[in-house]
Amino acid sequence: MHRAAFLALLSHWRRQPLQLIALLFGLAAATALWTGVQAINQEARSSYDAAASALGQGTEQRLTGEGPIPRETFIALRRAGWLVSPVVEGQVNGVTLLGVDPFTLPPMAASPNLQGDRLGAFLNNGLILANADTAPALAGYNVETAANIPDAQATMDVTTAWEVLGKTGFDYLVVTSPQPMGLPPLTEVAPGLTQVTEEAAGDIANLTRSFHLNLTAFGLLSFAVGLFIVHAAIGLAFEQRRSMFRTLRALGLPARNLTLLLAGETAVFALLAGALGVVLGYGVASMLLPGVAGTLRGLYGASVPGSLTLDLSWVLSGFAITFAGASVAAASSLWRVATLPILAPARPRAWAMASVRGRLLQAGAGALLLVISAVIIAQGEGLVAGFAMLGALLFGAALMLPFFLDLSLRAAAFVVRGVLGQWVVADTRQQVPGMSLALMALLLALAANIGVGTMVSSFRATFTGWLDQRLASELYLTAQTPAQAAALEALLDAEADATLPLRTAQARLVGAPAAILGVVDHVTYQQGWPLIEAAPDPWARMNAGEGAFINEQLWRRTGLAMGDRLELLPGWSLPIVGVYTDYGNPEGQAMVAQPELLARVPDLSPLRYAARVAPERVEDLRKAAEALGVPAGNILDQASVKRFSLDVFERTFLVTGALNVLTLGVAAIAILASLTTLASMRLPQLAPVWAMGLTRARLARLELLRAALFAALTFLFALPLGLAVAWMLLSVVNVQAFGWKLPMLAFPVEWLRLLALALLAALLAAALPAWRLGRMAPSRLLKVFADER
């Protein structure tokens, strides 16, 4: 009996292949987007872990000095019993080179595999070890591949690093934990060194946490949009099979068994869709990972490989989420089957006749979520609260959508003249319950697009304006050696209108790694560094060495106020007299008068310069600098720096853009699925109108119009919602995630483009059902009158 019943249930899908495709695709798409995002997050986290273990521990104790640490200091420390290991660090072709001493590396470090001849080559022949992805970037060096080296890193002996990087001395010494008891104090053995806790890897993980949370939130949104399709497809299939359920029950199949059979059917679909979803998810992750890697590099300087590793746990979690999603989507339908009276009316009606009370209840639940969102705005703190607020806002609004659509169409009925217009409006209103899930999916996709789009465009406009101000100098030059720098400075003093040497010292400000920027007194800075908070007469005070500026990130993170004293270096603190915007910088930064900085850190490498020069003389100055031996790549004009910065910016939001498009695509499929399924259920409404003298072609055109009307109304609701999302992203989430706040700007042209895209998506989705209606055989329409006899 059960086999026969199961086959009877499955026969529905044979007759409704498009519905089956919608169901499987919806579930697979939901799974794919979710698992894809999870795979990316997992890959990135593995990378951070690998980077963390490269030198032994996530939290690293280091000895640092104000310049390179001499070899003698290292030897003195070792002789005194300190377990320290020297590191030379630098960048070549975007690869971080780590010069290490294999004999003194901490035992927990991921030591390079130096068995056999490799050790000799490592120590004596300049062997560099990098993983297979990174090795090509070091072409020309003696590189061998080693699997355990993190991406974008290369390991070599310290002497090799000195040669490659042109350095002398060590950048820092790693302190092995634990140290032997009874060591002489550091001040005695190496007075110039200080011990710092460097949470390098931890910092990256912390910095990127917000980005991954952002990605997870997008994944969850896409998953929810996909589940709307599944819920709609399962719900409609339930409606269409009501008479079959009644017959099966009448023939002796208990309700419990029928429910179990339907649950089994859902499980089969989940298995199929899960397999498809995991494969698609792998594809999505592979497609997005290079973008994500670029974003992470651009935003945080974190290195993540651009290729994906397949992990069994990820595959299993993909199937688990498919089953969970299918269960959630099917729960209400299964409950209704389990409690369906045996003589319940067989006519599909629940969708069309959804009660006003149900709609009001749903709108009430939506309003409640909006209130919760408002409460979180007022009370909540932190990134998770920010996303909870966004979630409550989005889903609250989605629940209110059918009510809003009904209200709008009711209002439209008073305005529209002409019998056909009135019928279209009334009929569209009748379709709201059946279309509401798909339209909710569209609403979420549109609001996310408007919200994220407004955020990115606001960011872009602000960032571009900020770059125009900040990059006021016409040329940026970097010398290779102090001698070359001296010659360059002399050249610039003679030829440029102004020479602005750039001096930066690394420090820890309020417990976190940061940079101190020393600037000279020049009008360029006053014009190019807008202050968002300032004490009276800030520039004069800063230039006189009586105050410091800090960037917005440090200001927001620490809560420091104007006048508070900031310890810049041990024994040197200044009151804060200004806060400047510093987009794109993940770290804190302070700006002080250069003479003051040089007085305290005299050996700051004087290699970088900005030059003010009339635009027509830029080329001459460039050539003169090249004549001094400054490589062409080290002379950047204003336009190149801007181009580079904007390029980093665009890469940063590549993933967001891709996910936006994917979510909108999934929503379009939700509309297609709903329209296709509803098409056959709508024939009883369309056939009489056809019989009264409307051609099928005209009815088809009206169906297209109806889909466009739905999309336009949904867009109208999505616009304020999306702007609310943008405001939350800019004013709450971004401040938590990145440490800077941006002004919100309006982009009406973008909205029009999105409206056009939404209309296009709806029209494309409606095209197939409309085309089928336009070409439908009259006998099929006449069956409506015969079927019901």
**What distance in Å separates the CA atoms of residue 484 and residue 605, rounded to the nearest whole number?**
12
Minimum Å gap between C-beta 789 and other proteins is: 6
CA angle at 144 for the pair 142 and 148, rounded to the nearest 5°: 140
Nearer to other proteins, 377 or 705 (CB): 705
How many residues sit in the footprint of other proteins (CB under 8 A)?
33
Among 125, 332, 506, 695, binds other proteins (CB under 8 A): 695
776 contributes a contact to other proteins by CB under 8 A: no
**What distance in Å separates the CA atoms of residue 88 and residue 159, rounded to the nearest whole number?**
9
CA angle at 306 for the pair 304 and 309, rounded to the nearest 5°: 90
The answer to whether 408 and 425 are in contact (CB under 8 A) is no
Nearer to other proteins, 494 or 692 (CB): 692
To the nearest 10°, report the CA torsion of 632, 636, 640, 645.
Answer: 120
Site of tokens 């099929």: 780
Minimum Å gap between C-beta 355 and other proteins is: 11
Convert residues 406-435 into a mask of x (bound to other proteins by CB under 8 A) and - (unbound).
Answer: -------------xx-xx--xx-xx-----
For other proteins, which stretch binds (CB under 8 A), given 374-382, 489-497, 606-614, 682-690? 682-690
Among 242, 503, 556, 696, binds other proteins (CB under 8 A): 696
For other proteins, which stretch binds (CB under 8 A), given 217-225, 507-515, 692-700, 761-769? 692-700
Nearer to other proteins, 268 or 407 (CB): 407
Could you tell me the two tokens for 631? 């490589």
Q: Compute the half-sphere exposure of residue 333: CA atoms within 13 Å on the CB side of its CA.
A: 27
SS3 per residue for 269-326: HHHHHHHHHHHHHHHHHHHHHHHHHHHHHHHHCCCCCCCCCCCHHHHHHHHHHHHHHH
423: how many CB neighbours lie within 10 A of its CB?
A: 15
691 contributes a contact to other proteins by CB under 8 A: yes
* Maximum pairwise Cα distance, the chain: 103
Minimum Å gap between C-beta 714 and other proteins is: 19
Nearer to other proteins, 256 or 775 (CB): 775
Nearer to other proteins, 351 or 525 (CB): 351
**What distance in Å separates the CA atoms of residue 636 and residue 477, rounded to the nearest whole number?**
6
Among 181, 494, 692, 749, binds other proteins (CB under 8 A): 692
Residues 336-395 close enough to bind other proteins by CB under 8 A = 352-353
For other proteins, which stretch binds (CB under 8 A), given 255-263, 398-406, 695-703, 717-725? 695-703
Minimum Å gap between C-beta 426 and other proteins is: 4
Nearer to other proteins, 139 or 415 (CB): 415
For other proteins, which stretch binds (CB under 8 A), given 202-210, 359-367, 639-647, 696-704? 696-704
Minimum Å gap between C-beta 689 and other proteins is: 7
Among 664, 687, 725, 735, binds other proteins (CB under 8 A): 687
Nearer to other proteins, 413 or 723 (CB): 413
Could you tell me the two tokens for 369? 């979520």
**Radius of gyration over every alpha carbon of the chain, rounded to an integer in angstroms:** 33
Which strands sit side by side in the sheet containing 84-92, from one edge to the other? 143-145, 128-130, 153-157, 95-100, 84-92, 172-175, 60-64, 194-198
Sorted by sequence, the CB contacts under 8 Å of residue 491 that are 6+ apart come out as 621, 624, 625, 628
782 contributes a contact to other proteins by CB under 8 A: yes
Task: Provide the β-strand partners of residue 156.
Answer: 99
Minimum Å gap between C-beta 347 and other proteins is: 11
Could you tell me the two tokens for 665? 């695509």
Residues that bind other proteins (CB under 8 A): 352-353, 419-420, 422-423, 426-427, 429-430, 684-685, 687-698, 778-779, 781-782, 784-786, 788-789
